[in-house]
Amino acid sequence: MPEPGQVTCIDPNFDPDTYKPAWQAPGLADQVRRVPHSNHVAEMLGGTGVALLVTGLSLAVAPRVRRLIVPLAALGTMALTAYSLQFVLLYTVSYLGGSDLLSDNQSFLIMTVALLVVCPVWRRLLGQGPFERLLSAAARRAAHVG
């Protein structure tokens, strides 16, 4: 049992003694059973289907709500910078002993809203994010070397 405040991804009904990976499962019934994160055929097909559905809906809806998704698009163009900032912030908070700040969804919500506000402003005023600019410069230099 996990300690209070810990998160576990293991199904409470999971039995490691009787579990077999998909490639060792003997029959169809074992292939389609739903065990989270087990890489069974049904899970992989379901995950692929959900991904295709979300992608299709996003492509269909995006042109109609262009103004609403500008912050999300700006964040997407600065993903490396955003992830790096989140990592540095979470590491700093954890290092300073604020682990209870990391255990709730409020800190995630604050970081998400801050990035959705800052990224469009940065993109409009300065263009690429700083890490994306650095990566682009390195790629251009590497292209000229070869």
Instruction: Band the pLDDT of 3: cuts 50, 70, 90.
Output: low
Contact 41, 22 (CB under 8 A): yes
SS3 content of the chain, % helix, strand, coil (to 5): 70, 0, 30
Q: What is the DSSP letter of 98?
A: -
Please, are residues 123 and 77 in contact by the beta-carbon 8 Å criterion?
A: yes
Looking at per-residue confidence, does 32 or 138 come out higher? 138
| Percentage with pLDDT > 70 across the chain | 68
Whole-model pTM over 0.85: no
For residue range 27-70, what is the model confidence (pLDDT) as tens digits?
655 555 555 666 667 778 888 999 999 999 989 998 899 888 89
pLDDT at 39: 66
130: CB partners within 8 A, 6+ apart: 81
